[in-house]
Amino acid sequence: MPKKKIALINPKNPLREGASLGSLSLATNAAFIPDNYDVVVVNQASGEKIPRDTKLAAITVNTVTARNAYNLSEELRRAGIPTVFGGVHPSVQTEEARKYASAVVVGEGETVWDQLLDDFETGKLEGKLYTPGSFDMAESRLPRRELMGQPFMNTLQTSRGCPLGCDFCSVTNLYGSKYKYKPLELVEEELAPFKGRRVFLVDDNFFGVGEASAQRAKNLMGLLKKANLKSWMGQTSINIANNPEILGLARESGAAGFYIGFESLSESFLDAMSKRINLRQARKTIAIGEYTEVEAAYAGAVRTIQDHGIGVFGSFIYGTDHDTNRSLDRLRWFIGKSGMDTAYVKPLTPLPGTNVYDDFVREGKLFDDTYWMQDNYPVFTFKPKNLSAKDLTRNAERFVGMYNLPNSLWGAAKTLARTKNPEAAFLSGISNWGNYASYTAFRRENSDAIRDTLGSH
């Protein structure tokens, strides 16, 4: 008797078409589905199709993909295929999600599969809400990576949770204010197939805060070095620049770049968004030359990390009530002056599940409290105090224009000169160009919607 087919689906992302890193969360969940089912992972962003013989569809949903996920689910249900939602968005907009799926999983879904599949087999799935609670990372299993294809960069998760509690981020609210660590023995086993390949650590902060986290990071660097990777990248916070031992170990293990949330040059914004770790770094730094304390702290961190042969991929938020045209001009100047290898500068988008979203809804600041349900996912979701619609669009173009093809190539050359690390140069170059290309394509396809959204408010 043939096995019933379960499709685990990553829906299309309206902001980024084409190839992706795949969905580690789907491959992770696949490891908890019994062997008597035929499991496939479908990445619609890469054009993959849902098999016709699918009997159950489980769809991972974030806020950006929510509308596409809802439409897909309704289409599948009309064809007689029950659907299950999981992921960040259904976990925080649960009642909304329940309107569009047969069942919804809130939170971490690994342990829910036995009950969910029993309900599926007995015809009891419709209308179910599963709330499995916090997942014990010691119970982790090896993701079924054979279902993910061969991504350009492999993904690995070694921890969940974050104690920083930034107001624009949902991680602390969803996964807790303490780090949950995957056992290092399992991490080592997971790394084994990656010899000579690139790896991206999807941990929200692989270095973390505090002595215990630093020691764990040292042990992790040892495993990464032992794995003999081509290179690896990861997300961390500015405080890693204060630990030269970790930076040295990271470079020895093949680190090519760190993604760091600098967020803003404005102390008032950092304070308002509870980005305390950046404020602490700034308040123990002296303003130097043209730099303010915040700028000096950021530039010093960039230089220290690059001196250890590792690129810095900084992220910033703009279009807030703390911004003016002058402050955004200053930000562009600082990005170039500091020499960071890549800068992702994105509009503030208050996501459900974050404190800033709750605040904006309460204050009536959003154009639409369920903006993700619009025909075109909006680039801008509210009108900041000091910037007009024209200001927002002009600054968006200027930030993205920093990374056109000539600038991306020149930036990669400068990264190579600063870090002496060819992988850092290569990855920063393609990141810059990819960011530029994806945004310009999105803007070309959605320029009318952007203009209409801003022009009507």
Question: Where are the domains positioned within the chain?
Answer: 4-130, 153-443
pLDDT at position 41 is 96
Answer yes or no: are the C-beta atoms of 292 and 231 closer than 8 Å. Answer: no
Give the SS3 label for residue 195: coil
Question: Over 90: is that where the pLDDT of 226 sits?
Answer: yes
Confidence of residue 292 (pLDDT cuts 50, 70, 90): very high
CA-CA distances (angstroms) from residue 287 to 261, 291, 303? 20, 6, 16
Answer yes or no: are the C-beta atoms of 141 and 185 closer than 8 Å. Answer: no
Residues 6+ apart with CB under 8 A from 411: 341, 342, 403, 428, 429, 432
How far is it, in rounded angstroms, from Cα 396 to Cα 316? Answer: 12
pLDDT, tens digit, for every residue of 310-332?
Answer: 999 999 999 999 999 999 999 99
Question: Over 80: is that where the pLDDT of 452 sits?
Answer: no
Confidence of residue 448 (pLDDT cuts 50, 70, 90): low
Which numeric CATH code is attached to 4-130? 3.40.50.2300
Q: For 33-37, 258-262, 283-287, which range has the lowest pLDDT when averaged over its residues?
A: 283-287
pLDDT above 90 covers a percentage of the chain that reads 74
SS3 sequence of 166-187: CCCCCHHHHHCCCCEECCHHHH
pLDDT, tens digit, for every residue of 423-447?
Answer: 999 999 998 887 777 667 656 655 5
**Homologous superfamily assigned to 153-443:** tm_1862 like domain (3.80.30.20)
Question: Over 60: is that where the pLDDT of 457 sits?
Answer: no
Helix (H) or strand (E) holding 314: strand 311-318
Helix (H) or strand (E) holding 232: strand 231-236
How far is it, in rounded angstroms, from Cα 235 to Cα 208? Answer: 10
pLDDT, tens digit, for every residue of 337-387?
Answer: 999 999 999 899 999 999 999 999 999 999 999 999 998 888 889 999 999
How far is it, in rounded angstroms, from Cα 149 to Cα 190? Answer: 16
Q: To which residue do tokens 């569009």 refer?
A: 100
